[in-house]
Amino acid sequence: MGKLKEKYLKQGIAEYAKRLSKFCKFKIVEVADEKAPEKLSEAEMIKVKEIEGERILSKVKDKEYVYALAILGQERSSEGLAQEIQSLGTYGHSDITFIIGGSLGLSEAVLKRADTEISFGRFTLPHQLMRLVLTEQIYRSFMINAGSPYHK
């Protein structure tokens, strides 16, 4: 969700994307976030998430295996995520999509479409920073699967 503005985050993500190019076709798809006032009612929050969810789902193909990043999702270790990614590739799910929601989270429709929900802990992180953290963890997964000492 949203455009990445901070130069230092763009640089970090670009570095990991370059490293990932040895292992996979890595692509980031940005979807516009819905403009909303700072204070929203519960109904307004749901509406914003629904609009953003429609934008997200319009970019997701049926064959993709989808990880939704959600604070209540299942936490994994780096090794666990690496094993999942390797297993998905082995069993015909080579198109893997990770979805990071906007500041209000993900809509019910996106969560229903997801094959699994993943959490990076109970911390709340800006979605721009989460993009960098996720990109690094995807790279780390490939390095673990390659037997690289990067993970140590």
**Quick one: which of 10, 13, 21 has its CA closest to 142?**
21
pTM recorded for the entire structure:
0.91
What is the maximum alpha-carbon separation in the chain? 49
Triad 88, 71, 103: Cα angle to 5°:
110
Q: Is residue 15 part of a domain?
A: yes
Looking up residue 138, the CATH number of its domain turns out to be 3.40.1280.10
Looking at the structure of the chain, the number of domains it has is 1
Helix (H) or strand (E) holding 56: helix 42-57
**Domain annotation covers residue 37:** no
- Whether 148 contacts 82, CB under 8 Å: no
Is 101 labelled a binding residue? yes
Annotated ligand binding at 57? The verdict is: no
Tell me the pLDDT tens digit for each residue of 21-78. 999 999 999 999 888 878 888 898 999 999 999 999 999 999 999 999 998 899 999 9
Q: What whole-number distance in Å separates Cα of residue 105 and Cα of residue 70? A: 7
